[in-house]
Chains A and B, each alone.
Chain A
């Protein structure tokens, strides 16, 4: 549709509002309360423009652009003198009580309020009366609160309570004294609270972890990277100063994380600065261990790798390149998976299911679904950003209702008022209560096998060709009926599951439901969640199961074991790992000290995510490249480079051929046809814009001639980066790079992260040139994961047949419990648990039982009980978890003394003495 702004014609989408239309066309119009993901409420009155009835209307009237729908031939003016005066007046009003503290405010330099104040031209305070002030609240270890800076735009509470479903945050008081906070000081409960840092247009909510090593945005050396703390592959920008990682901010990717991150992803970065970091190579000598220089480390490594049978244990948290280099060193026949055999089977099952289709959906597709079934996965704790997406999925019903009543989607308050508490269907079947239960239509608490049976029953109802579930109890049959009816009625159903429950049956059941829906011609958004950053990519490299490596070690066949970025004691019972690491020689490459590196004869300092380059494959099957933020200090380098150096010393062809990352990427792509497209995940190291590399440092980077002057007054040459098209300088390409190489969002007049508007094809659409990453699993099913629709529109269903392995119903045992893993957003993931702020929020180890089982056991909450299973035993405090079904117990995943035992497992729980 055509509109005219300041006498220039623009073609805009009629579903947008005038503010979006202006910003999307590159025009500068100040705003505060509107947010591209949250729509308009018209609270701040900042985006005032003039609109005119027709060409003859000379006076026009002032309207709020964010509340003005696009109409044909709309005549508007941003530049009109009266509108400008109005906007300047609004900012002056907002600034009346703003404290005089920009110099000590963490938002300064990337503050939307600063930008908008400059944009409107307000520069001198005329208000001479006392400023209103507030006391701040303690909000936990992640966020800092400074209420004096508030300008009452209501974005925080709209995000926290309406978008993210938080319950412990509200608007208090009235008039100019409105206060945004909790009823009482305390840790914010919501898992997405960190987004307030970016949602708040000024410095009311700032990053508390950044505050401890504060650096302005202009001083950060930044690079595009991929979050290291779950398998969703959210895009993040990491920033460094003086050799330490300073913070993580969101990097918009329209297909994945959009505008928001979870708190684990945002605040887990501090593991990179941990005192547990391995900074130099270390070899065990007769008495203790000693640091050795890089050359000696390489010599020892290559002699160990060359002598006798060598096993390589890969890792789902290491990049494809590092795993591949290890595989090249030890040979495919000696390349083992560094995950438990149970996880291995799950990953294999997941990969098989995804390859047969339906292809995995992106978070964007899931967000646009209209009915969701979550089978077995506690998404808030295992893939947190997905939980935030599911909260938007259930809003689609309300949005559609609004559209029918001709209320535009961006009219946020009107849409929410219309929908009230009615939201779209969301069925959650998990072993224990989840944080999404408050918006679930129905929940089902049961053992993994019963959850799988529910899934199979739903699939059978959707398509009788799928296997029937024998002996289905009546309540479950009825529930399956309701779920099947709902999914059948939905236009874009969503099926989510994952490896979190530790059950392959659950995965297969979810796949059967998705297949039945696909067969019915529905564009089902199907998503399976793996546990770690590169779980799926690692599985695609076809390692052998860890158990066989242990067997080989027990049989004494192994001379050397090379462990890549992996704490094996988290993967399998200690006895098995002890047997494996009892091999004559053990080499461990890792970034942090672990129980595994403590056992190694030779410890090689590998680069953590912020100091490494590589490619990872997310649960969506999206291959994404991540880049070094800063060159690692000392002897640290990428695992793949260590291994390539060793290959070179051994005069192996790979070692001689691999000069930089692109060579290794090429080798991976050649070796695995399914990974061939990782070449396109990002432009290679040779990419240039106007002959220049892309700078990692903003154009206002300070201190270049001073930061190292205490060591040597002559400035060193900036380090070279042979592996990417990014440079460690502030000089470079004056135009915007492709999305995969975008180090930060910053543009003239827009210093805050709201500058992302200027990098998108349309507001909240893809970044210009397409979002980062390539999908690897699309060949199996229809394009772009929309699944199962042939070009002619018929339901072609390129999916394989159903999986018929319906498990028997779960039968509780006397005196024994099925111990299931209970995931925790803070603590369950290995790396983020090393970040102090996350560690503070992580629970203490425990074992959980349902109230009736705890009563039967005669144990009070907090009592110490003995947990015994084949794989290991420990004494743990008891936690009574309402909602945990009888016969089930839960252990925190990846936490505490039993972190290594593969769950679920049968075990005994006895009262401790």
Chain B
């Protein structure tokens, strides 16, 4: 008897407490920039694709939901011919981002990935590639790596000496 009255009293009290319910989607919660949501592919400061198709994100992925195929432009700059993430398998662990040596693949604070049709959760490169640098401005892998691309010859990367002259007799 006492416990029934006590319960009724508590329910009554709840009517005067502030509400916890957030009126999503009218009211958006704050998600930090480093929140692990929808995955994107970013571009370097020059506006070129950052992804060099090294396959490290794919191999780091614990659910194996990333697949891609590497190809090269005529000057030796490597990029993915196609890049696919199956978000219906993705667990948003962020290991792909950690593995990425070029800051290309990044997780964003976008969590609105609901779909009625699971097939629509398969994202191709055109769905993933964004226009900017994402969370990491400034970094450009090709300016650091010692390989040759269209507008950068050997010896022109950061901290590189000019290419050795094989014909000189001087030491």
At the interface, yes or no: A590 with Cβ under 8 Å from chain B?
no
Q: Which residues on A are within 8 Å of B, measured CB to CB?
A: 99-104, 108-109, 128-136, 146, 148, 172-175, 177, 179, 211, 213-216, 218-219, 242, 700-707, 709-710, 712-714
Task: Flag if A705 contacts B147 (CB, 8 Å).
Answer: no
Q: Please, which residues of chain B bring their CB within 8 A of the CB of A135?
A: 154, 163
B150 to chain A, nearest CB (A): 14
Closest 5 CB pairs of A and B: A99-B146, A703-B67, A103-B54, A702-B58, A130-B161
Given contact pairs A101-B147, A104-B147, A214-B78, a sample of 9 additional A-B residue pairs in the complex whose CB atoms are under 8 Å apart:
A133-B164, A134-B163, A146-B147, A177-B164, A703-B68, A707-B67, A709-B122, A710-B84, A713-B86
A659 to chain B, nearest CB (A): 33
Task: Flag if A705 contacts B101 (CB, 8 Å).
Answer: no
Task: Flag if A706 contacts B89 (CB, 8 Å).
Answer: yes
Q: Please, which residues of chain B bring their CB within 8 A of the CB of A103?
A: 52, 54, 56, 101-102, 141, 145
Q: Please, which residues of chain B bring their CB within 8 A of the CB of A710?
A: 84, 122, 124
Q: Please, which residues of chain A bring their CB within 8 A of the CB of B68?
A: 703
Task: Flag if B64 contacts A702 (CB, 8 Å).
Answer: yes
A sample of 29 cross-chain residue pairs with beta-carbon separation below 8 angstroms, ordered by A number, consists of: A101-B145, A103-B52, A103-B102, A104-B52, A128-B159, A133-B161, A133-B163, A134-B163, A135-B163, A136-B148, A173-B164, A173-B166, A213-B69, A215-B70, A216-B59, A218-B59, A242-B69, A700-B59, A702-B58, A703-B65, A703-B67, A703-B68, A706-B65, A706-B67, A709-B86, A709-B122, A710-B122, A713-B119, A714-B118
The CA of A170 and the CA of B132, in the complex, are separated in Å by 46
A496 to chain B, nearest CB (A): 40
Residues of B in contact, count (CB < 8 Å): 48
Among the listed A211, A213, A703, which residue makes an inter-chain contact with B58, where contact means beta carbons less than 8 Å apart? A703
- Per the 8 Å Cβ criterion, residues 40-74 of B in contact with A are 52-56, 58-59, 61, 63-72
**Given known A133-B160, A135-B154, A713-B118, contact A705–B78 (CB-CB < 8 A):** no
Most buried by B among A175, A179, A242, A710: A710
A267 to chain B, nearest CB (A): 19
Task: Flag if A132 contacts B122 (CB, 8 Å).
Answer: no
At the interface, yes or no: B29 with Cβ under 8 Å from chain A?
no
Q: Please, which residues of chain A bring their CB within 8 A of the CB of B86?
A: 705-706, 709, 713
At the interface, yes or no: B121 with Cβ under 8 Å from chain A?
yes
The CA of A60 and the CA of B58, in the complex, are separated in Å by 47
Q: Please, which residues of chain A bring their CB within 8 A of the CB of B148?
A: 136
B88 to chain A, nearest CB (A): 6
Most buried by A among B66, B155, B166: B166
* Chain A residue, CB-CB nearest to B155: A133
At the interface, yes or no: B162 with Cβ under 8 Å from chain A?
yes
Q: Please, which residues of chain B bring their CB within 8 A of the CB of A702?
A: 55, 58-59, 61, 64, 66-67
Q: Please, which residues of chain A bring their CB within 8 A of the CB of B107?
A: none
Task: Flag if A706 contacts B85 (CB, 8 Å).
Answer: yes
At the interface, yes or no: B171 with Cβ under 8 Å from chain A?
yes
At the interface, yes or no: B144 with Cβ under 8 Å from chain A?
yes
- Per the 8 Å Cβ criterion, residues 126-163 of B in contact with A are 141, 144-148, 154-155, 157, 159-163
Q: Please, which residues of chain B bring their CB within 8 A of the CB of A213?
A: 69
Q: Please, which residues of chain B bring their CB within 8 A of the CB of A707?
A: 67, 84
Task: Flag if A148 contacts B64 (CB, 8 Å).
Answer: no
Task: Flag if B52 contacts A703 (CB, 8 Å).
Answer: no
The CA of A242 and the CA of B78, in the complex, are separated in Å by 19
Task: Flag if B70 contacts A134 (CB, 8 Å).
Answer: no
Q: Which residues on B are within 8 Å of A, measured CB to CB?
A: 52-56, 58-59, 61, 63-72, 78, 84-86, 88-89, 101-102, 118-119, 121-122, 124, 141, 144-148, 154-155, 157, 159-164, 166, 171
Q: Please, which residues of chain A bring their CB within 8 A of the CB of B147?
A: 99, 101, 104, 146, 148
Task: Flag if B146 contacts A100 (CB, 8 Å).
Answer: yes
Task: Flag if A705 contacts B145 (CB, 8 Å).
Answer: no
Q: Please, which residues of chain A bring their CB within 8 A of the CB of B67?
A: 702-703, 706-707, 709
Task: Flag if B146 contacts A148 (CB, 8 Å).
Answer: yes
Q: Please, which residues of chain A bring their CB within 8 A of the CB of B53?
A: 214
The CA of A710 and the CA of B161, in the complex, are separated in Å by 46
Task: Flag if B171 contacts A709 (CB, 8 Å).
Answer: no
Task: Flag if A211 contacts B72 (CB, 8 Å).
Answer: yes
Task: Flag if B52 contacts A131 (CB, 8 Å).
Answer: no
Q: Please, which residues of chain B bring their CB within 8 A of the CB of A172?
A: 166
Most buried by B among A99, A103, A174, A713: A103
The CA of A179 and the CA of B171, in the complex, are separated in Å by 14
A86 to chain B, nearest CB (A): 26
Q: Please, which residues of chain B bring their CB within 8 A of the CB of A173?
A: 164, 166
Task: Flag if B171 contacts A132 (CB, 8 Å).
Answer: no
The CA of A128 and the CA of B158, in the complex, are separated in Å by 11
Task: Flag if B154 contacts A134 (CB, 8 Å).
Answer: yes
B33 to chain A, nearest CB (A): 24
**Given known A216-B55, A713-B121, contact A100–B145 (CB-CB < 8 A):** yes
* Chain A residue, CB-CB nearest to B72: A211
Q: Please, which residues of chain B bring their CB within 8 A of the CB of A704?
A: 64
The CA of A129 and the CA of B159, in the complex, are separated in Å by 7
Q: Please, which residues of chain A bring their CB within 8 A of the CB of B144?
A: 100
* Chain A residue, CB-CB nearest to B61: A702
B92 to chain A, nearest CB (A): 14
* Chain A residue, CB-CB nearest to B159: A130
The CA of A663 and the CA of B39, in the complex, are separated in Å by 51
B93 to chain A, nearest CB (A): 14
The CA of A136 and the CA of B163, in the complex, are separated in Å by 10
* Chain B residue, CB-CB nearest to A708: B67
**Given known A104-B147, A148-B146, A707-B67, contact A131–B84 (CB-CB < 8 A):** no
The CA of A697 and the CA of B84, in the complex, are separated in Å by 20
Q: Please, which residues of chain B bring their CB within 8 A of the CB of A705?
A: 63-65, 86, 89
Q: Please, which residues of chain B bring their CB within 8 A of the CB of A100?
A: 144-146, 157
Among the listed A104, A109, A174, A218, which residue makes an inter-chain contact with B145, where contact means beta carbons less than 8 Å apart? A104
Task: Flag if B146 contacts A133 (CB, 8 Å).
Answer: yes
The CA of A535 and the CA of B157, in the complex, are separated in Å by 54
* Chain B residue, CB-CB nearest to A242: B69
The CA of A706 and the CA of B61, in the complex, are separated in Å by 11
The CA of A214 and the CA of B71, in the complex, are separated in Å by 7
Among the listed B66, B141, B162, which residue makes an inter-chain contact with A703, where contact means beta carbons less than 8 Å apart? B66
Q: Please, which residues of chain B bring their CB within 8 A of the CB of A712?
A: 119
Q: Please, which residues of chain B bring their CB within 8 A of the CB of A713?
A: 86, 88, 118-119, 121-122
A729 to chain B, nearest CB (A): 12
Most buried by B among A99, A136, A213, A713: A713
The CA of A395 and the CA of B85, in the complex, are separated in Å by 55
Task: Flag if B70 contacts A214 (CB, 8 Å).
Answer: yes
Most buried by A among B124, B162, B163: B163
B78 to chain A, nearest CB (A): 5
Q: Please, which residues of chain A bring their CB within 8 A of the CB of B141?
A: 103
Task: Flag if A175 contacts B88 (CB, 8 Å).
Answer: no
The CA of A146 and the CA of B53, in the complex, are separated in Å by 18
Task: Flag if B164 contacts A102 (CB, 8 Å).
Answer: no
The CA of A130 and the CA of B122, in the complex, are separated in Å by 44
Task: Flag if B154 contacts A131 (CB, 8 Å).
Answer: no
Q: Please, which residues of chain A bring their CB within 8 A of the CB of B88?
A: 709, 713
The CA of A601 and the CA of B154, in the complex, are separated in Å by 57
Among the listed A101, A216, A714, which residue makes an inter-chain contact with B146, where contact means beta carbons less than 8 Å apart? A101
* Chain A residue, CB-CB nearest to B142: A104
* Chain A residue, CB-CB nearest to B67: A703
The CA of A74 and the CA of B125, in the complex, are separated in Å by 59
The CA of A108 and the CA of B163, in the complex, are separated in Å by 23
The CA of A135 and the CA of B56, in the complex, are separated in Å by 28
The CA of A219 and the CA of B69, in the complex, are separated in Å by 11
* Chain B residue, CB-CB nearest to A702: B58
The CA of A611 and the CA of B155, in the complex, are separated in Å by 45
The CA of A173 and the CA of B167, in the complex, are separated in Å by 8
The CA of A521 and the CA of B114, in the complex, are separated in Å by 82
Task: Flag if A706 contacts B59 (CB, 8 Å).
Answer: no
* Chain A residue, CB-CB nearest to B78: A104
A80 to chain B, nearest CB (A): 34
Task: Flag if A108 contacts B54 (CB, 8 Å).
Answer: yes
A617 to chain B, nearest CB (A): 38
